[in-house]
Structure 1
């Protein structure tokens, strides 16, 4: 690979890949420093938090709504127009990408009022509406994921060298963004703990 790209081995500072077993195996005997992709590691940490039963139930409830919302789409557009809201369709997520789940929940929450009005006016569709407890979880999750989505977009870039950004960004995420506060719901604190511990565990040994 180095020969193909004409890279002088003396110029190498670090090699980074995802955390696939074959990648780790390929570089374990390599003399240069190997670091797992920070964007990938952050994605893994968030994915772990999304496996929480309450969170998983809420995400599935939103997914179920959107899957069953095909027929009342015209009515939803009318409700959006009546409320002077942008004509934006509900978004379906991609199960393997937490960012798409965030966008799905965010779009639903922004259109919750017209969606609710649409389902109330359609016979046999009200069962699609997520329960209040699920909506509360969605709101907590979106509030937590919003700042993290920006870091993922920036640090998963293939056009920038971001090695020097890992330490300050990791510190900011773990000490500021994901710090647990007594005033927060227990679910939010639990998700923060999971998201905070996973990246720290992956980078502590390398830093030492």
Structure 2
């Protein structure tokens, strides 16, 4: 949102950070003031446009060191005008109060080592009900910021295709299932899951045979055609086959799918801190087809942060001094860089 009060307060923050970053005398004076005022010995954080949360952390650090900043800058006649006014402090506190709780959620949704897509609907629900809910002690600016963020997020994830994907992922997460799906959309989600499960059953019963035959296979088929057909071996009918229930293939598939779905939904939800992938690893024996669907949907990242990190890694590898690397070598180096740091 565009607001002149916010623009001014952020401009003051950036100038303060620049002053202390470019002067060793100011750094020394800041450390002395922090010691006198019993403040943490922290340096200032510079905002980076490509690093989410850096603006919020910059604001928090300026508010934390407010008294030390005032003491150091007030002693310098040339930079005394950079001391934040009470209006600037009020604006910065309003921004920090609205954006501060979002940092932890954003970091969690941008992770690569855990399931993130199934968290989106629960997080949106939490934002609307608690985190970004309007509180009596909120300033008008804080209320405006919260409402602007909520309107943006609700509109961003309101598309039918996006909402459907998030609903499927949330349902396949044993921590949430249908808890955050609206009642009117649950039937559509379950019918989509059943359709995909039926498709899996059909593939298992009728595996694709569209592979291109090799030369040896063609020759073997020709030889089989030339040779005389062998008489079919007569199989003996077992005694138990007389009592086997006759059921159409389609009804049997539908029944199998519905039983697997209902059995999964009837199991109590697992702890929200547990790893859903570990749960599916142990329970895939009981829900083999739902387990495959869970792998399909839960592997989707909730944000583009992982791919952006890969691009950043590639930019650090392919520099002006290493511009002759072959694409295969770049792929291997990016792979090693992204995987070795997690070991």
Compute the TM-score of the two structures, normalised by the length of structure 1: 0.71
- Give the C-alpha shift of residue 117 in structure 1: 0.6
Is the 8 Å Cα contact of residues 93 and 101 (structure 1) preserved in structure 2?
A: yes
Alpha-carbon displacement from aligned partner over 1:28-48 (angstroms, at most 9, x marks no partner): xxxxxxxxxxxxxxxxxxxxx
Structure 2 distance, partners of 1:180, 1:89, is 33
1:79 aligns with 2:4: no
1:108 aligns with 2:59: no
Structure 1 distance, partners of 2:117, 2:107, is 15
Greater Rg over alpha carbons, structure: 2
* Alignment correspondent of 1:62: 13
* Alignment correspondent of 1:129: 83
Structure 1 pair 98/181, CA: closer, same or farther in 2 (3 Å)? Answer: same
* Alignment correspondent of 1:93: 47
Structure 1 distance, partners of 2:148, 2:32, is 42
- Give the C-alpha shift of residue 167 in structure 1: 0.9
Structure 1 distance, partners of 2:135, 2:61, is 27
* Alignment correspondent of 1:150: 104
* Alignment correspondent of 1:53: 4
1:176 aligns with 2:146: no
* Alignment correspondent of 1:32: none
1:207 aligns with 2:192: no
Q: Give ranges in structure 1 of 5+ residues lacking alignment.
A: 1-48
Structure 1 distance, partners of 2:136, 2:43, is 37
Structure 1 pair 190/68, CA: closer, same or farther in 2 (3 Å)? Answer: same
Structure 1 distance, partners of 2:156, 2:56, is 24
- Give the C-alpha shift of residue 99 in structure 1: 0.6
Q: Between Structure 1 and Structure 2, how many residues are aligned?
A: 159
Relative CO higher for 1 or 2, CA cutoff 8 Å, sep ≥ 6?
A: 1
* Alignment correspondent of 2:146: 192
- Give the C-alpha shift of residue 95 in structure 1: 3.1
Structure 2 distance, partners of 1:123, 1:186, is 34
Q: Give ranges in structure 2 of 5+ residues lacking alignment.
A: 165-343
1:120 aligns with 2:79: no
- Give the C-alpha shift of residue 183 in structure 1: 4.0
Structure 1 pair 98/56, CA: closer, same or farther in 2 (3 Å)? Answer: farther
Is the 8 Å Cα contact of residues 74 and 83 (structure 2) preserved in structure 1?
A: no
Matches within 5 A, 1:1-80: 49=1, 51-69=2-20, 70-71=22-23, 72-80=26-34
Alpha-carbon displacement from aligned partner over 1:43-70 (angstroms, at most 9, x marks no partner): xxxxxx4x43322221111101221233
Deviates more, 1:93-102 or 1:164-173: 93-102
- Give the C-alpha shift of residue 145 in structure 1: 1.4
Structure 1 distance, partners of 2:36, 2:136, is 41
Is the 8 Å Cα contact of residues 97 and 142 (structure 2) preserved in structure 1?
A: no
- Give the C-alpha shift of residue 80 in structure 1: 0.9
- Give the C-alpha shift of residue 177 in structure 1: 1.2
SS at match of 1:68: helix
- Give the C-alpha shift of residue 137 in structure 1: 0.7
Is the 8 Å Cα contact of residues 93 and 100 (structure 1) preserved in structure 2?
A: yes
- Give the C-alpha shift of residue 159 in structure 1: 1.8
Q: Once superposed, what is the RMSD of the aligned Cα atoms?
A: 1.7
